[in-house]
């Protein structure tokens, strides 16, 4: 569930926190609010989706058929063929048959991205490959997922970016750094958010009170006290009008009017009217939604493929 949909950092904190979509960076937690967008990233049509059943997590397919029995304390979506799951306080990874491929041993684990997964061992963060071997040893106080060959990391309270060899590609200089997506990354300088390219050059001047990752060529930004969307030139494409908003995915974006969530298309028109207490991104044609504390999944017509349940 998502307490709000405002900021879109994918960076990890110094110590493990509640794993609920994106986690806040410890150094900037007061400014950030968790968004659901990213954990529902880039799944394929054969995707499996985590659902909570009788206190444990299982996985269903797009049709709502149970594919992996409820057995996990917490679970993330599948990306690149694997999913992070928690058992007895430790995180590991399973394949689409539900078989453990990496024994639960980490204090936290993110979905795979660019072939690597961010994991935590005690207070430090590093990256493993799909065999569970550390490619970049745990050493960072804060870190995010790889995208476009770069990952945000925090050193001495400042954020920079490493390459997949663990070498610093963009020196730590930002007050906050998000994941690269669509070739750009959102960064914070003092109290404003803007965007950099892979070289670290600022391409959209920091000017927003909050900002999200680019997906499908659009990024959510906060201007004044409302959220709208810009393109990669910084031009406003959807006028700020929403009380909360998430990334575009699968052609739709989660937004809120007041305390009700619905979905808009790229023109800013509602495809599914606000009616849910919370929601997640569409992937492969379905999205998670919450009614109270009950989670279900809907299709792009707003029809349930998995009815809300605790």
- Give domain status of residue 274, yes or no: yes
Evaluate whether residue 93 is within a structural domain. yes
10 is a domain residue: no
The answer to whether 9 and 213 are in contact (CB under 8 A) is: no
The answer to whether position 18 is within a domain reads no
From residue 271, how far is each of 54, 63, 285, 300 by CA, in Å? Answer: 32, 21, 13, 8
**Which pLDDT does position 47 carry in this prediction?**
84
Look at residue 5 and tell me if it is in a domain: no
Asked, for residue 126, whether it belongs to a domain, the answer is yes
In a domain, 62, yes or no: yes
Neighbours of 168 (CB within 10 A): 12
Distances (CA, A) of 29 to 7, 43, 129, 160: 10, 28, 29, 18
Q: Helix, strand, coil: what percent of the chain each, to 5? A: 5, 55, 40
CATH number for 141: 2.130.10.10
The domain of 246 spans 26-309
Task: Look at residue 26 and give its three-state secondary structure.
Answer: helix
Q: How many domains does the chain have?
A: 1
Domain for residue 2, yes or no?
A: no
pLDDT tens-digit map of 219-250 = 999 999 999 999 999 999 999 999 999 999 99
Q: How far is CA 111 from the centre of its chain?
A: 9
Q: How much is the pLDDT for 46?
A: 63
What is the pLDDT at residue 117? 98
Q: Which pLDDT tens digits describe the chain residue by residue (310 residues)? A: 332 333 333 333 322 222 322 222 333 332 332 233 333 333 344 689 999 998 999 999 998 999 999 999 999 999 999 999 999 999 999 999 999 999 999 999 999 999 999 999 999 999 999 999 999 999 999 999 999 999 999 999 999 999 999 999 999 999 999 999 999 999 999 999 999 999 999 999 999 999 999 999 999 999 999 999 999 999 999 999 999 999 999 999 999 999 999 999 999 999 999 999 999 999 889 999 999 999 999 999 999 999 988 6
Q: Quick one: pLDDT at residue 20?
A: 29
């Amino acid at each position: 569930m998502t307490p709000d949909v405002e900021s879109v950092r994918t960076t990890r904190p110094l110590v493990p926190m509640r794993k609920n979509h994106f986690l806040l960076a410890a150094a900037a937690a007061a400014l950030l609010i968790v968004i659901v967008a990213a954990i529902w990233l880039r799944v394929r049509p054969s995707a499996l989706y985590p659902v909570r059943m009788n206190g444990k997590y299982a996985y269903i397919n797009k049709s709502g058929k149970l594919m992996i029995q409820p057995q996990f304390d917490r679970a993330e979506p599948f990306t690149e063929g694997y999913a992070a799951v928690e058992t007895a306080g430790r995180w590991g990874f399973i394949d689409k048959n539900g078989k453990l491929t990496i024994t639960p041993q980490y204090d936290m684990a993110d979905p795979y991205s660019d072939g690597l997964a961010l994991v935590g061992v005690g207070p430090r963060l590093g990256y493993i490959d799909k065999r569970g071997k550390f490619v970049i040893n745990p050493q960072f106080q804060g870190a995010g997922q790889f995208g476009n060959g770069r990952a945000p990391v925090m050193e001495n309270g400042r954020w920079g970016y490493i390459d997949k060899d663990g070498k610093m590609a963009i020196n730590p200089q930002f007050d906050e750094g998000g994941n690269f997506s669509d070739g750009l990354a959102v960064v914070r300088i003092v109290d404003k958010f803007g965007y950099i390219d892979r070289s670290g050059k600022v391409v959209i001047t920091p000017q927003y009170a909050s900002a999200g990752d680019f997906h499908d060529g659009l990024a959510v930004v906060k201007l004044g006290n409302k959220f709208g969307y810009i393109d990669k030139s910084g031009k406003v494409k959807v006028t700020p009008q929403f009380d909360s908003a998430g990334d575009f995915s699968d052609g739709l974006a989660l937004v809120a009017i007041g305390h009700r969530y619905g979905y808009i298309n790229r023109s800013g028109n509602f495809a599914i009217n606000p009616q849910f207490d919370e929601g997640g991104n569409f992937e492969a044609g379905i999205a998670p939604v919450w009614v109270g504390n009950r989670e279900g999944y809907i299709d792009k017509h707003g029809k349930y493929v998995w009815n809300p349940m605790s």
